[in-house]
Amino acid sequence: MNNQSLSKKKNVLSKIVESPFLYLAPYFALFFLFKLGPIVSNFFVSLYELDIVGSGQFVGIKNYSRLVADKLFWIALKNTFYYLALVGPINVIGGFFIALLLNKPLRGRAIARAAVFMPYIIMVTVVGALWRWILEGNYGILNHYLQMILKIEPIYWLTSSSTAMLGVVMASVWWTIGYNTVIFLAGLQDVPRELMEAAEIDGAGSFRRLIHVIIPCLRSTTFFVVLTTIIYSLQVFGQVYTMTGGGPRYSTLVLVQHLYINGFRLFKLGYSSTISVVLFIVIFLISMGIFRVNKQTLS
């Protein structure tokens, strides 16, 4: 091998090593293997009548036609958006104001931050069992204090169709609001101190500094928090599964719970895949809408 060919090979090898795609390759490999691949595969499964054994029968869009006529699907879709409408604003706005409070130099701030975030590291099964005890109708601690302070009749939170979703929402907010708080806290550390000091020198009070300095500086953080809150809320499952199982009378049945029942109890794998495809499309469209609004706001 002559020196010229050896030099060419070294140059090619050097270009490969310096290429950014080489360093991104492990990420893309895992992304295609565990994310994109299952999504595409799931779409094809939704076109089959498939149970737990056998290769299934191709039925085209029959599963989608069944989905449109499925009353439980529409109930689950409505309940999922109802859950999002309750949890989303509380988690985003509540997380923001808790972060503002915990960003102040108060005594015991580190302990308070840990206390707010601590529920998020608890397993969802433990959260469900804990809140079933808290919300128990006859002996629950919440009813105990409500009766002692407000002198009201016991509320059967999880066994009444009018309050079951509220019980799930309370557990979810307690469990997840700490995550948004931590994200907002991280964003608050990036608010330029010079801007805050300049606004203060110009006579801006706390409210005006919040409106004209802090909130605009947290635009990217807020975008991320809103997006992840919506996605996680539309995928709610663990709290519902452990606290109510979708009842009573389907009042807490959500899309992922409906998917789980069809896929892992009734073994209608093709039909459950259809539900997941529709859920994916809903999340995708909402996410694209949020991206578009954020882009227009920035421009």
Domain with residue 143: its CATH number is 1.10.3720.10
The 3-state secondary structure of 29-57 reads HHHHHHHHHHHHHHHHHCCEECCCCCCCE
Q: Is residue 206 part of a domain?
A: yes
- Amino acid code (one letter) for 87: V
For residue 171, give every residue at least 6 positions away whose Cβ sits within 8 Å of its Cβ, in sequence order, or none: 127, 128, 130, 131, 135, 239, 243
CA 17, 19, 20: angle at the middle one, nearest 5? Answer: 120
For residue 81, give Cα distances in angstroms to 14, 69, 70, 76, 290. Answer: 53, 19, 17, 9, 16
Check whether the bond before 248 is cis (ω within 30° of 0).
yes
Q: Is residue 73 part of a domain?
A: no
Q: Is residue 64 part of a domain?
A: no
Average pLDDT over residues 206-233: 91
Q: Is residue 68 part of a domain?
A: no
- Amino acid code (one letter) for 10: K
Average pLDDT over residues 120-146: 91
pLDDT for 297 equals 78
How many distinct structural domains can be found in the chain?
Answer: 1
Asked if the model's pLDDT at residue 176 lies above 80, the reply is yes
Largest Cα–Cα distance of the chain, in whole Å? Answer: 95
Burial 42-56 (b: 16+ CB within 10 A, else e): beebbbbebeeeeee
pLDDT for 55 equals 76
Rounded distance between C-alpha atoms, residue 12 and residue 10, angstroms: 5
- Amino acid code (one letter) for 225: V
Q: Is residue 45 part of a domain?
A: no
Look up residue 207 and give its two tokens.
């409210």
Between 54 and 95, residue with greater pLDDT = 95
pLDDT for 2 equals 63
At 1, the pLDDT band (50, 70, 90 cuts) reads low
The CA radius of gyration of the chain, in Å to the nearest whole number, is: 25
Local structure of 268: helix, strand or coil: coil
Q: Is residue 286 part of a domain?
A: yes
Look up residue 196 and give its two tokens.
């805050």
Between 8 and 229, residue with greater pLDDT = 229
Asked if the model's pLDDT at residue 127 lies above 60, the reply is yes
Residue 244: which of 119, 79, 92 has the closest Cα? Answer: 79
Q: Which of 122-136, 146-160, 168-182 has the least mean pLDDT?
A: 146-160
Local structure of 58: helix, strand or coil: strand
Q: Note down the domain range covering 105.
A: 78-297
Average pLDDT over residues 269-275: 92
Q: Is residue 169 part of a domain?
A: yes
